[in-house]
Amino acid sequence: MSERIWTAALVVIGDEILSGRTQDKNIAQLATWLNVQGIRLAEVRVVADREAAIVEAVDTLRHRCDYCFTTGGIGPTHDDITVDAIAKALGVAVVVHPEARAILERYYATRGGLTDARLRMARVPDGAELITNRVSGAPGIRHGNLFILAGVPHITAGMLEALTGTLEGGRPLIARTIGCWVGESEVAELLRATERTYRGDGDVAAVAIGSYPFFREGRTGANFVVRGTDPAVLDACLAALVDALETAGHDVVDGGI
Amino acid sequence: MSERIWTAALVVIGDEILSGRTQDKNIAQLATWLNVQGIRLAEVRVVADREAAIVEAVDTLRHRCDYCFTTGGIGPTHDDITVDAIAKALGVAVVVHPEARAILERYYATRGGLTDARLRMARVPDGAELITNRVSGAPGIRHGNLFILAGVPHITAGMLEALTGTLEGGRPLIARTIGCWVGESEVAELLRATERTYRGDGDVAAVAIGSYPFFREGRTGANFVVRGTDPAVLDACLAALVDALETAGHDVVDGGI
């Protein structure tokens, strides 16, 4: 019995990420939010503020995944070229969205008025809808399966909140973590065998075990994360893993170390 | 006079990044290190622990950029498939590297011996050289313009340290930051005009200005980052920007806010 897995991609747009100036936070933020919507983050690309780079990434990923998100490059300055690039990828014109214009007029009424630069933030690819931005005025943009979000993480968060529950997805991805004070190489074979029993044979595994080693307090340990969408399969895989680890003589810490 | 810009790409490999469990730190870490080597991080892809996804990303990016780095997936467990995927992308066999084997034998001599799982970490795409790992035994791998690094950030850092000064690059990317307590939309036009004067007409700009707004202590501000490789062009662009901002009545904070 095969389950439909809904997928999403993210294109992070910004020289500030590629130069190392800014530590990206939107990958983890979007991934976590998508899990709750029952959508799997399948691929991320980080590209520069260059039209050709944005067009290529968006055009590939919007066809490959059910949903494609972008973050960054929707402000009022010259380095904000996301809307123009995406319109180009979609083969549509850039238009001023009347509702976005009205939102910005209200927002800037007491803040010096709607200048040409600010009006840039009302520009959308023709045919787009708006995504509410309760934080800072300028809205996000939805065009079909494309979601164009702000780059500043707390503004991105507000836009995701506005989208919560509006996207069709499957069952949420759930994850259970356990930990052992053991080098992962000592238990590699039992991890492999346990996963093989439960992973299924689809392109996307029904359940997957990740192994994440660490070195802490002078000791070697590892956390094992079991991920999947079917609670019954997940529980069975987790129980088998705990059993195998304990049989091999390792104490298992529920919830991870 | 056009300057050769050396470029690199990064493929971050790992379900833990795409699930939101782990906040990636290697993008910013590699970007910062590359700047000092005179190499520009041009694109990043984050892919799952799936062979087809790794092969596609590595094969595209190793041809597109001067250098291609990967992080993650080189440990001893079943979810560590980077070496096999890259060998497939390169069309070469996977072999046990004798020096890597010797390193692991020494490392595990007092740690329970070299098991089959641990020996997996000596496997490399045929024709590869090793990258020293002073932190945890298992080495990184270089194959032509491909650099296969660990995913755990402090181990990645050690491998980058071992590579420091060994890669041909151009002039280091330098950046100067200034800040103003101003909404970026108020100065958008002068930013655009200043950049246009200095950016040159190559595919990669001689100098670029990034605008990064923030909201802090109840006030709106923005930092402006001027990036480039030619100190003279950079200084001229920065001076012109400071002059334009001050002429428009804004106090400029050197170093950013």
**A85-89, A172-176, B162-166, B252-256: range with lowest mean pLDDT:** A172-176
Provide mean pLDDT across the span A84-89. 98
Rg (CA), chain B: 22
CA–CA distance, A223 with A235 (Å, rounded to integer): 17
Put residue B38 in one of left, alpha, beta given phi > 0 → left and psi -120 to 50 → alpha: left
3-state helix, strand, coil in chain B (%, to 5): 40, 25, 35
CA–CA distance, B101 with B185 (Å, rounded to integer): 58
Provide mean pLDDT across the span A205-210. 87
Q: What percentage of chain A exceeds 90 in pLDDT?
A: 87
CB contact under 8 A, B43 and A45: yes
CA–CA distance, B171 with B39 (Å, rounded to integer): 8
Residue at token pair 């440990």: B75
Q: In a 10 Å sphere around its CB, with 0-12 CB exposed, 13-18 middle and 19+ buried, how is residue A75 labelled?
A: buried
CA–CA distance, B164 with A61 (Å, rounded to integer): 34
Residue B75, both tokens: 């440990």
So what's the pLDDT on residue B204? 65
A105 touches chain B (CB under 8 A): no
Q: Give the gap in angstroms from C-alpha A47 to the nearest C-alpha of chain B.
A: 5
Provide mean pLDDT across the span A191-204. 85
| Residue of A11, A21, A181 to mutate, interface with B, max B Cβ within 10 Å | A21
Its pTM surpasses 0.80: yes
Q: Which residues of chain B have pLDDT under 70?
A: 1-2, 202-204
Strands A140-143, A129-131: pairing is: antiparallel
Helix (H, G, I), strand (E, B) or coil at A7: strand
Cα–Cα distances (Å) from A102 to A114, A119, A122, A162, in that order, read 10, 10, 9, 19
CB contact under 8 A, B31 and A53: no
Spatial contact of A154 and B213, defined as CB atoms under 8 Å apart: no
Q: Does residue A202 have a pLDDT over 80?
A: no
Q: Does residue A84 have a pLDDT over 60?
A: yes
Fold of the domain spanning B6-163: Molybdenum Cofactor Biosythetic Enzyme; Chain A (3.40.980)
Query: Does CATH place domain A174-254 in 3.30.1450.10?
Result: no
Q: Does residue A31 have a pLDDT over 60?
A: yes
A197 touches chain B (CB under 8 A): no
Cα–Cα distances (Å) from A20 to A174, B146, B161, B167, in that order, read 32, 21, 17, 19
So what's the pLDDT on residue A136? 83
Residue A218, both tokens: 């002078």
For A28, the closest of B23, B77, B208 (CB atoms) is B23
So what's the pLDDT on residue A206? 81
Spatial contact of A6 and A130, defined as CB atoms under 8 Å apart: no
Q: What is the DSSP letter of A79?
A: T
Contacts of B98 (CB under 8 A, 6+ apart): none
Q: What is the DSSP letter of B74?
A: -
CB contact under 8 A, B78 and A43: no
Provide mean pLDDT across the span A105-111. 92
For A212, the closest of B16, B25, B34 (CB atoms) is B16
Q: How many CB atoms lie within 10 A of CB B81?
A: 17
So what's the pLDDT on residue A221? 94
CA–CA distance, A254 with A82 (Å, rounded to integer): 44
So what's the pLDDT on residue A204? 65
| Residue of A18, A34, A49, A176 to mutate, interface with B, max B Cβ within 10 Å | A18
Going by pLDDT thresholds of 50, 70 and 90, the confidence category of residue A105 is very high
So what's the pLDDT on residue B139? 97
CA–CA distance, B222 with B179 (Å, rounded to integer): 6
So what's the pLDDT on residue B135? 87
Residue A206, both tokens: 């029904």
Which of A177, A178, A210, A204 is CA-nearest to residue A66? A204
- In chain A, which among 122-181 make CB contacts under 8 A with chain B? 136, 152, 173, 175
Q: Which CB contacts under 8 angstroms, 24+ apart, belong to A226-232?
A: A226/A175, A226/A176, A226/A177, A226/A178, A227/A173, A227/A174, A227/A175, A227/B15, A227/B19, A228/A173, A228/A174, A229/A3, A229/A5, A229/A38, A229/A170, A229/A171, A229/A172, A229/A173, A229/A174, A230/A3, A230/A171, A230/A206, A231/A174
Domain boundaries, chain A: 6-163, 174-254
So what's the pLDDT on residue B1? 44
Contacts of A161 (CB under 8 A, 6+ apart): A134
CB contact under 8 A, A43 and B43: no
So what's the pLDDT on residue A1? 44
Give the relative orientation of helices B26-37 and B153-163 as an angle to the nearest 10 degrees. 10
CA–CA distance, A18 with B227 (Å, rounded to integer): 12
Q: Which residue has the higher pLDDT, A1 or A215?
A: A215
Q: Does residue A20 have a pLDDT over 90?
A: yes
